[in-house]
């Protein structure tokens, strides 16, 4: 941990709050704050660099590509420029830059060239914020921001095979549960992350059961007819 940890983290908090002022509600300062707090919870008892962990969490979404015309360089560049102003050591800056470049779910479609305990923890915290009650709220908030349909029974979810196909999706919001959210439980890195993910995963299944009931109260319960909620109602398996 850097000897000026508190000072560096405090300045970075102010920087991130200013940069993300008026950001879309699912990717604003409060998302950053939740990811930082969850990262610290997961990291309890772990041998990690606390400065790298906190700064990585604070800066992981400083410029999300989907709000910057798909530019995947603006986030790492903005973070590195800021960290240089703090006079942080080169090794820590490079570590944090690699965390930012590798944390996103969309990068899971490719071989990950970098790994560290700090990345694993922040990645779990970021993915935990994408599921459960908060994840549901964020998903529909972003869907509304983009003008996506809530649900369309005629449009099946897709089992994406590439990063580019995933990035181009403009499917109904409910599809995102099957295309990403319900997959995250099994992609957690840490023991603590896996434990936390299970409860949030189960909550999403309860939500989906209620959603489908309200969409068509005359339809029999999916669980009562032996069909689980991990797959959409229109078909039994993803293509």
List the single range of 107-116, 135-144, 227-236 with lowest mean pLDDT: 227-236
List the single range of 36-50, 87-101, 105-119, 133-147 with lowest mean pLDDT: 105-119
* Integer CA distances (angstroms), 75 to 84, 132, 180, 204, in order: 14, 26, 22, 30
In a shared domain, residues 142 and 209: yes
- Number of independent structural domains in the chain: 2
Could you tell me if 196 and 186 are in contact, meaning their C-beta atoms sit under 8 angstroms apart? no
d(Cα 54, Cα 79) in Å, to the nearest integer?
13
Could you tell me if 124 and 200 are in contact, meaning their C-beta atoms sit under 8 angstroms apart? no
Q: Tell me the pLDDT tens digit for each residue of 197-231.
A: 999 999 999 999 999 999 999 887 665 444 566 66
Range of the structural domain that residue 45 is part of: 1-110
In a shared domain, residues 147 and 221: yes
Is 187 contained in some domain?
Answer: yes
Report the mean per-residue pLDDT for the chain: 88
In a shared domain, residues 137 and 205: yes
Write the secondary structure of the chain as one string of H (helix), E (strand) and C (coil): CCCCHHHHHHHHHHHHHHHCCCCCHHHCHHHHHHHHHHHHHHHCCCCCCHHHHHHHHHHCCCCCHHHCCCCCCHHHHHHHHHHHHCCCCHHHHHHHHHHHHHCCHHHHHCCCCCCCHHHHHHHHHHHHCCCHHHHHHHHHHHHHHHCCCCCCCCCCCCCCCCHHHHHHCCCCHHHHHHHCHHHHHHHCCCHHHHHHHHHHHHHHHHHHHHHHHHHCCCCCCCCCCCCCCCCCCCCCCCC
* Integer CA distances (angstroms), 28 to 55, 102, 176, 184, 232, in order: 16, 20, 20, 21, 30
In a shared domain, residues 199 and 106: no
What is the average per-residue pLDDT within 51-68?
Answer: 86
pLDDT of 148 > 50? The answer is yes
pLDDT at 47: 94
Is 152 contained in some domain?
Answer: yes
Is 81 contained in some domain?
Answer: yes
Is 115 contained in some domain?
Answer: no
pLDDT of 15 > 60? The answer is yes
pLDDT at 105: 77
Q: Tell me the pLDDT tens digit for each residue of 162-201.
A: 777 777 788 999 999 999 999 999 999 999 999 999 999 9
pLDDT of 239 > 50? The answer is no
In a shared domain, residues 9 and 96: yes
What is the average per-residue pLDDT within 140-163?
Answer: 90
What is the average per-residue pLDDT within 132-160?
Answer: 94
Residue after which a domain boundary falls, among 110, 140, 174: 110
Q: Can you give the CATH number for the domain in which 151 is found?
A: 1.20.58.1910
* Integer CA distances (angstroms), 72 to 23, 82, 108, in order: 18, 17, 15
Q: Tell me the pLDDT tens digit for each residue of 111-131.
A: 777 999 999 999 999 999 999
Q: What is the percent of the chain where pLDDT is above 70?
A: 86
pLDDT of 19 > 70? The answer is yes
In a shared domain, residues 76 and 142: no
CB atoms within 10 A of CB 203: 15
pLDDT at 186: 96
In a shared domain, residues 134 and 165: yes
Is 118 contained in some domain?
Answer: no
In the numeric block, which tokens belong to residue 104? 């996103």
Residue after which a domain boundary falls, among 79, 110, 141: 110
* Integer CA distances (angstroms), 207 to 98, 138, 148, in order: 35, 14, 19
Is 116 contained in some domain?
Answer: no
pTM of the shown model: 0.88
List the single range of 18-32, 47-61, 76-90, 152-166 with lowest mean pLDDT: 152-166
């Amino acid at each position: 941990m850097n000897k000026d940890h508190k000072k560096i983290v405090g300045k970075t908090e102010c920087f991130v709050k200013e940069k993300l002022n008026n950001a879309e509600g699912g990717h604003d300062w409060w998302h950053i704050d939740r990811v930082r707090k969850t990262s610290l919870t997961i990291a309890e008892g772990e041998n990690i660099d606390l400065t790298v962990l906190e700064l990585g969490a604070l800066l992981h979404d400083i410029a999300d590509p989907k709000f910057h015309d798909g530019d995947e360089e603006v986030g790492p560049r903005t973070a590195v420029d800021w960290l240089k102003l703090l006079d942080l050591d080169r090794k820590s800056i490079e570590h944090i830059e690699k965390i930012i470049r590798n944390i996103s779910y969309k990068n899971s479609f490719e071989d990950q060239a970098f790994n560290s305990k700090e990345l694993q923890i922040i990645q779990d915290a970021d993915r935990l914020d994408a599921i459960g009650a908060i994840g549901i709220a964020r998903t529909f908030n972003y869907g509304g921001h983009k003008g996506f349909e809530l649900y369309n029974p005629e449009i099946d979810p897709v089992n994406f095979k590439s990063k580019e196909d995933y990035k181009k999706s403009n499917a109904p919001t409910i599809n995102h549960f099957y295309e990403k959210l319900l997959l995250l439980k099994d992609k957690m890195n840490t023991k603590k992350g896996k434990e936390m993910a299970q409860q949030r995963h189960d909550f999403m299944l309860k939500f989906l059961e209620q959603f489908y009931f309200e969409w068509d109260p005359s339809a029999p319960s999916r669980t009562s007819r032996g069909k689980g909620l991990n797959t959409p109602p229109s078909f039994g398996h993803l293509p």
